Structure 1
Amino acid sequence: MRATPAGTGEAGPATTRETRSLPAHAPGAVDTPFVIQPYDEVVAHDTLWDAHSHPFHELLWNERGASCAVVGERIWTITPTLGLWMPAGTLHSGSATAGTWFRASFFGFRTTSSISDTPVAVEITPLLRLLLERLGEPGLAPSSRAATEALVLDVLAPSPRELLVQLPTSALLRPIADAVREDPADRRTLADWAAELGVSTRTVTRAFSAETGTSFVRWVAAVRAQRAIDLLTRGWDVESVAEQVGYRSASAFGVAFRRTTGLTPGAFRSG
Structure 2
Amino acid sequence: MAKEVRELPVVEAGAVETPFGIVGYEEVVACDTTWGEHSHAFHELLWNERGASTAVVGARVWTITPSLGLWMPAGTLHSASAVAGTWLRAAFFGFRTKPSLPDVDLPVTVEITPLLRLLLERLDDPELPPDSRATTEAMILDALEPSPRELLVQAPASAFLRPIAEALRENPGDQRTLADWAAELGVSTRTVTRAFNAETGTSFARWVASVRAQHAVALLTRGWEVEAVAEQVGYRSASAFGAAFRRTTGLTPGAFRAG
Shorter-chain TM band: over 0.9
How much does 1:189 deviate?
1.0
Which TM-score applies when normalising by structure 1? 0.92
> Are residues 1:16 and 2:10 paired?
no
> Are residues 1:149 and 2:146 paired?
no
Q: Distance in 2 between matches of 1:40 and 1:262?
A: 23
Name the count of aligned residue pairs: 257
Q: Distance in 1 between matches of 2:17 and 2:170?
A: 42
How much does 1:270 deviate?
2.0
Secondary structure of 2:216's partner? helix
Q: Distance in 2 between matches of 1:111 and 1:265?
A: 35
Secondary structure of 1:236's partner? coil
Secondary structure of 2:85's partner? coil
Q: Distance in 2 between matches of 1:212 and 1:111?
A: 31
Please point out which of 202, 206, 209 is paired with 2:197: 209
How much does 1:114 deviate?
7.4
2:167 aligns with: 179
Q: 1:166-212: CA deviations, max 9, x gaps?
A: 11011111110011011101111111111111111111111011111
2:211 aligns with: 223
Please point out which of 85, 90, 109 is paired with 2:95: 109
> Are residues 1:135 and 2:123 paired?
yes
Unaligned residue ranges in structure 2 (runs of 5+): none
User: Which residue identity lines up with residue 220 of structure 1 in the other structure?
Assistant: V
Q: Distance in 2 between matches of 1:48 and 1:266?
A: 25
Q: In structure 2, do the counterparts of structure 1 residues 269 and 88 end up closer, same or farther at CA, with 3 Å as the change threshold?
A: same
1:246 aligns with: 234
Q: Distance in 2 between matches of 1:53 and 1:185?
A: 34
1:43 aligns with: 29
2:249 aligns with: 261
2:11 aligns with: 25
Unaligned residue ranges in structure 1 (runs of 5+): 1-14
Q: Distance in 2 between matches of 1:228 and 1:222?
A: 10
How much does 1:226 deviate?
0.5
> Are residues 1:158 and 2:146 paired?
yes
Q: Which moved more, 1:255-264 or 1:174-183?
A: 255-264
- The 8 Å contact of residues 100 and 141 in structure 2, kept in 1 or not, is answered as no
Percent same amino acid at aligned positions? Answer: 76
- The 8 Å contact of residues 32 and 83 in structure 2, kept in 1 or not, is answered as yes
User: Which residue identity lines up with residue 257 of structure 1 in the other structure?
Assistant: F
2:225 aligns with: 237
Which TM-score applies when normalising by structure 2? 0.96
Q: Distance in 1 between matches of 2:249 and 2:49?
A: 17
- The 8 Å contact of residues 34 and 111 in structure 1, kept in 2 or not, is answered as no
2:20 aligns with: 34
Q: Which moved more, 1:53-62 or 1:136-145?
A: 136-145
Q: Distance in 2 between matches of 1:212 and 1:171?
A: 14
- How well do the aligned residues superpose, as a CA RMSD in angstroms? 1.2
Q: Distance in 2 between matches of 1:246 and 1:81?
A: 24
How much does 1:231 deviate?
0.8
User: Which residue identity lines up with residue 176 of structure 2 in the other structure?
Assistant: R
Alignment of 1:48-63 (within 5 A): 48-63=34-49
1:77 aligns with: 63
